[in-house]
Amino acid sequence: MGCWAHARRKYDEALKAAPPATRGNKDSVANQGLAYCNALFAIERELKDASPEERYAERKKRSLPILEAYSVWLKQQRSQTLPRSLVGKAIAYSLNQWEKWTAFLKDGRLEIDNNRSERSIKPFVIGRKNWLFANTPRGAKASAAIYSVIETAKENGLLPFQYLKYLFEQIPQLPDSQNPEALEPYLPWSSMLPITCRVMG
């Protein structure tokens, strides 16, 4: 999967670095590239509450023609743009990532960008200077597992502290905590978790 937010950002950066006259020119290459990306994001905003099946059908109907036009435009612009310029790099980036860019069309459950994932890991990216070194590889592995559990809990509408407390109280009492089937009721998406673990509202 490719992230269209990254494709869009390349044109945005090219525009910010351009002279003021170019920035306001809607026919500039950077503005045209940005317009293709914005058109795709506009469709995604409209499909925010649609079912995966509806998203799949609407993307085929509405997003695919934009992608096809964008592909033709990219190939035309490649030969007319300086490859080392910011716009040239934005065009090359889209062409090089094309297979990944179009993957979201294959399934309505797929997102057009990975912004949600990036937001989830942002606290750890910000904090990593504070925890620059894990004392041991085993400690680093344990930390990664805990971060994963916490973020998955959040994504499933759970209160991380309450959820971890529940796990630490219940899992040691299982006859076989290594059995995947025995752990199933304790996974973050399980409907068997107590209400005290859930975000209310």
The model's confidence at residue 27, banded by pLDDT at 50, 70 and 90, is confident
Output the DSSP codes for 106-152: G-TTS-S--HHHHHHHHHHHHHTTTT---SSHHHHHHHHHHHHHHHH
Output the DSSP codes for 41-80: HHHHHHTTTS-HHHHHHHIIIIIHHHHHHHHHHHHHHHTT
Which pTM value belongs to this model?
Answer: 0.62
φ and ψ at residue 158, rounded to 5 degrees: -105, 155
Q: Is the pLDDT of residue 137 over 70?
A: yes
Q: What average pLDDT score do residues 105-117 get? A: 84
Considering 30-39, 79-88, 135-144, the range whose residues carry the highest mean pLDDT is: 30-39
Nearest alpha carbon to residue 41 among 26, 62, 68: 62
Convert the pLDDT of each residue in 165-193 to its tens digit: 999 999 999 998 889 999 999 999 999 99
Q: What average pLDDT score do residues 111-125 get? A: 70
The domain spans of the chain are 4-106, 115-197
Q: Is the pLDDT of residue 123 over 70?
A: no
CB 185 within 8 A of CB 192: yes
β partners of residue 158: 198
Q: Is the pLDDT of residue 21 over 80?
A: no
CB 129 within 8 A of CB 50: no
Q: What is the mean pLDDT of the chain?
A: 87
Q: Is the pLDDT of residue 134 over 90?
A: no
